[in-house]
Amino acid sequence: MGEVQKIVALFGHPVTPSLSAAMHNAAFPATGLEWSYIPFRADATTLPGLFARLKGNGLAAADFAYPCEEAAVGLCDELSEEAKLLAAVNTARISAEAVRGHNVDASAFERSLGELGLEVARKAVLVLGTGAAARACGLALERAGAAVTYAARDLTRPRPGVSTRATVIAWNDAERFLTVRKPAALIDATLTEAAAEGPPSFDYDAIPRGCFVYDLNCGCPTSLLKAAADRALRAADGLSMLIYKAARAFELWTGAEAPLDVMRRAAAAELEKGEA
């Protein structure tokens, strides 16, 4: 008799179409695993009940996307050091003994920066947003030696994981920061659903020449990436970070090496479907 199929859930909103599902559902059979990755629509309010029901039915692992990362902390019996620091969990391994939560965004972002050859040591970097993904990017940037500034829509919101070395400015001051400080990189970690269609967050002409633009959104060209292309600025979307994030989660769940080439091809094929 074959192995009973194991289920991995993705909790978030929106979750469809899911590049993560495409990558994992290609990676599992490529490594001989009888696992399936299934997206479930959830938010911070509905997550605990849905998670408890699925866990009771033998859920093997889980990913948590916006807006569930912070709520997921309370579902875990154990937390990795980065999950504790950032007060956010984006993947978890589930066993009969415990739910162990991790945050793999910072390591995935670090790998993506290395792949792009982006050097930020002793340079100013502006991160748009202060949510879980933004804070993880800021953590990775500080490890690389950057002077990190966050632009926050709400200056009163708690920001766990934002170090005392970082600066937090009001969203409306981002334009002035770009003009005066001329950062080496601009990271948009707002992950807005309307990124492609929405109006610019600020005057993109304020982005200085030589600034690298990194938008965590992927799957469609955002207004920010279009502006970067129009001005011939170096830029990247969040696809490589998402792939490295999925690969690290796969390894935490299964103990096997992630088949990166398989996952890259699956992500590319899913993106092509969206363009058709």
Q: Which helix (H) or strand (E) holds 125?
A: strand 124-128
Fold of 6-103+246-275: Rossmann fold (3.40.50)
pLDDT at 145 over 70: yes
φ/ψ of 113, rounded to 5, equals -60, -40
pLDDT, tens digit (0-9, with 9 covering 90-100), for 186-204: 999 987 544 444 455 789 9
Q: What is the mean pLDDT of residues 203-228?
A: 92
DSSP letter at 14 equals S
The per-residue pLDDT for 220 is 79
- Whether residue 154 is predicted with pLDDT greater than 60 in this model: the reply is yes
Question: What number does CATH give the domain 106-237?
Answer: 3.40.50.720
- Segments making up each domain of the chain, as ranges: 6-103+246-275, 106-237
pLDDT beyond 90 at 78? yes
Quick: pLDDT tens for 165-191: 999 999 999 999 999 999 999 999 987
Torsion from C-alpha of 174, 145, 140, 268, nearest 10 degrees: 80
- Asked whether the predicted pLDDT for residue 228 surpasses 60, the reply is yes
Which residue has better confidence, 195 or 56?
Answer: 56
Whether residue 240 has pLDDT greater than 60: yes
Residues 6+ apart with CB under 8 A from 133: 66, 69, 105, 189, 191, 216
